[in-house]
């Protein structure tokens, strides 16, 4: 290794060691030659000092009782293509909403991106990609509600009656039903049908639900899962 390259690698190594657990990019080393930094980071990755996550992006982990740490969700968002987001899914979404107290053995996420770097989120993570672009503007909780409805409430540990009661309470929080209604066109028909039955149970005006009604094939029947006990489920084509 040339003396210049050795000095650059040494500077980068020292900065990484003092930086602790975090992501590193080439532009984190301003004032050093781009090519030399890229080569140094690649060299450190081969040594195992850092992990390469994707082109030009590396991660300095810390050792835990379960092995090397993974970047937190905020770091994950930083690596996604522009206008993409990641949300909890499955049991994690149900847990966020209060339907479950389980800690899932396998991490499960939903994203509007076409793919996610496995090195970042874990090789065994279940990934649901290409969620509608409309999800990008949602909060984590709103997206969790959509995920929960897509699964017809089956990730709930509560009884069907309590599941319905809690779902209505969550949708009744300020402006949530209306926010989800605005993007309902991008959701599967079954989800739109359940949202309609829930909205009617909540006393929403027929004019507000008309677009949902008109979007459904009148000959279709939908599996409402744990929400089949909704008083208006049959009217909204549960079967």
Q: What is the pTM of this model?
A: 0.72
The pLDDT of residue 179 is 96
Residue 171 lies in a domain: yes
**Given CA atoms 210, 212, 217, 219 in this order, what sign does their dihedral have?**
negative
Residue 190 lies in a domain: yes
Nearest to 227, CA basis, from 144, 124, 148? 148
The pLDDT of residue 107 is 84
Do residues 30 and 132 share a domain? no
The pLDDT of residue 185 is 95
Residue 118 lies in a domain: yes
> What's the domain range around 30?
3-62
Q: Which CATH number fits the domain that encloses residue 8?
A: 1.10.10.10
The pLDDT of residue 116 is 77
Per-residue 3-state assignment (H helix, E strand, C coil) for the chain:
CCHHHHHHHHHHHHHHHHHCCEEEEHHHCCCCCHHHHHHHHHHHHHHCCCEEEECCEEEECCEECCEECCCCHHHHHHHCCCCCCEEECCHHHHHHHCCCCCCCCCCEEEECCCCCCHHHHCCCCEEECCCCHHHHHCCHHHHHHHHHHHCCCCCCCCCHHHHHHHHHHHHCCCCHHHHHHHCHHHCCHHHHHHHHHHHHHCCCCHHHHHHHHHCCCCCCCECCHHHCCCCCCCCCCEC
Do residues 19 and 134 share a domain? no
Do residues 127 and 169 share a domain? yes
The pLDDT of residue 103 is 79
Do residues 20 and 98 share a domain? no
The pLDDT of residue 119 is 66
* 131 burial type by CB count under 10 A (0-12 exposed, 13-18 middle, 19+ buried): buried
Do residues 50 and 146 share a domain? no
Task: Please give the chain's pLDDT, 239 residues, in tens.
Answer: 555 678 888 899 999 989 888 888 888 898 899 998 999 999 999 998 998 877 788 888 887 776 777 666 556 666 666 666 888 899 999 999 999 998 777 888 898 888 877 766 777 888 898 899 899 889 999 999 999 999 999 999 999 999 999 999 999 999 999 999 999 999 999 999 999 999 999 999 999 999 999 999 999 999 999 999 999 999 999 99
Residue 73 lies in a domain: no
**C-beta pairs of 10-16 under 8 Å, 24+ apart in sequence:** 12/37, 12/40, 12/41, 12/44, 13/40, 13/44, 13/49, 16/44, 16/49, 16/50, 16/60
d(CA 85, CA 54): 17
In the chain, the number of structural domains is: 2
Do residues 21 and 120 share a domain? no
Residue 20 lies in a domain: yes
The pLDDT of residue 54 is 76
């Amino acid at each position: 290794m040339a003396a210049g390259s050795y000095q650059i690698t040494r500077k980068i190594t020292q900065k990484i060691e003092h930086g602790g657990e975090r992501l590193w990019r080439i532009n984190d080393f301003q004032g050093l030659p781009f090519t030399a930094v890229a080569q140094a980071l690649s060299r450190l990755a081969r040594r195992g000092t850092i992990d390469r996550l994707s082109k030009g992006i590396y991660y300095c982990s810390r050792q835990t009782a379960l092995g090397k740490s993974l970047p937190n969700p905020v770091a994950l968002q930083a690596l996604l293509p522009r206008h993409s987001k990641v949300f909890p899914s499955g049991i994690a979404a149900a847990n966020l909403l209060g339907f479950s107290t389980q800690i899932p053995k396998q991490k499960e996420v939903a994203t509007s991106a076409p793919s996610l770097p496995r090195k970042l989120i874990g090789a065994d993570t279940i990934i649901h990609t290409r969620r509608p672009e409309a999800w990008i503007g949602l909060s984590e909780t709103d997206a969790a509600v959509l995920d929960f409805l897509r699964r017809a409430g089956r990730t709930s540990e509560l009884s069907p009656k309590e599941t319905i009661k809690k779902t209505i309470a969550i949708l009744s929080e300020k402006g949530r039903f209306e926010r989800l209604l605005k993007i309902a066109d991008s959701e599967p028909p079954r989800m739109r049908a359940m949202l309609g039955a829930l909205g009617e149970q909540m006393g929403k005006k027929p004019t507000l639900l008309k677009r949902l009604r008109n979007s459904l094939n009148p000959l279709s029947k939908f599996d409402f899962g744990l929400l089949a006990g909704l008083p208006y489920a049959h009217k909204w084509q549960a079967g």
